[in-house]
Amino acid sequence: MHRLVPNTSISRARAVRRGQWLTWATVGYNLLEGGLSVGAGVLAGSVALVGFGVDSFIEVTASLSALWRLHADADPHRRELAERRSLRVIGLCFLALAAYVAVDAGRTLLARAEPEESILGIVIAVVSLVVMPLLARAKRRVATALDSRAIRAEARQTDICMYLSAILLGGLGLHALLGWWWADPVAALGMAPLIAWEGRRALAGHAVCDDCAPVTIT
C-alpha cells in the first residue's frame, strides 16, 4: 500500500519550484538591467545610474544566495543553515551597495560633475518600476509559504530596486527637464539610508513581515 503524501508537502515543493523560477528570472533581468545601466551611466557621467546598475549586480549575488537557500529546503537541517547564511549574505549586499552609493554620490557633489542627459537611463527606470513590483510580490508569497526570512529579505531587495528606480527616474527627469545637475547625486544619496537600514535588519536576522503565517501556494 502506497503512503499518501500530505498536501502541505506538495504545496511546499510547489513553492520551492516557483521561488526558483522567480529568482532565476530576477537574476536574468538584473544582469541585463545592470549592464545597460552601468554602460549608460558611464556614457552620461551619471552617478545615480551607475549606482543603480551596481545595485543590479549586487542583487544578483543576493538572488544566488536565495537560490542556495531554496535548493536546501528539502533537508530541515540544511534549510536552517542556508537560511542563516543567505540572510547574512543578503544583508552584506545591502550594506555594500549603501556604502558605494554614498561615497560615489558625495564625491560627485564635491566635484560638481554634471551628468549628461540619458534617455536610456530613463527608459530603464520606467521598465524597472513595472517589472520589480511584480517579482517582489510573487517572491513574498513564496517566502510566506516557506516561512523563510532569507527569501523575504531577497524579495525586499527587489522592492528596494523599485524604490531606487523611482528615485533614479526623479533625478534623471529633473536634470533632463530643468537642468538640475545636482538632482542626480542627491537622488543617489537618497538611496543610501534606506539600503543601509535594510542591510542592518537582514544581518540582525529580521525581514519584512516576520510574523506572517505560512500560506498555501496554489
Residue 211 lies in a domain: no
36 vs 45: which has the higher pLDDT? 36
Residue 37 lies in a domain: yes
Lowest mean pLDDT among 7-11, 39-43, 124-128, 194-198: 7-11
Residue 92 lies in a domain: yes
- Read off the pLDDT of residues 107-136 as tens digits, 9 standing for 90 and up: 878 877 666 677 888 888 899 999 999 999
Q: Does the pLDDT value for residue 196 go beyond 80?
A: yes
User: Collapsing DSSP states into helix, strand and coil, what is residue 78?
Assistant: helix
Residue 168 lies in a domain: yes
Q: Does the pLDDT value for residue 212 go beyond 60?
A: no
So what's the pLDDT on residue 205? Answer: 67
Cα 116 to the center of its chain, rounded Å: 26
> What rounded mean pLDDT belongs to the chain?
78
Domain range enclosing 33 = 8-203
Residue 213 lies in a domain: no
- Read off the pLDDT of residues 59-95 as tens digits, 9 standing for 90 and up: 888 888 888 888 877 777 777 777 778 778 878 888 8
206 band by pLDDT with thresholds 50, 70 and 90? low
- Read off the pLDDT of residues 184-193 as tens digits, 9 standing for 90 and up: 778 778 778 8
- Which whole-number Å values give the CA distances from 149 to 116, 137, 156, 192, in the listed order? 41, 15, 10, 22
Residue 2 lies in a domain: no
So what's the pLDDT on residue 160? Answer: 80
Residue 131 lies in a domain: yes
CATH code of the domain covering residue 85: 1.20.1510.10
Q: Which of 26, 17, 82 is nearest to 58 (CA)?
A: 26
Tally of domains in the chain: 1
Residue 135 lies in a domain: yes
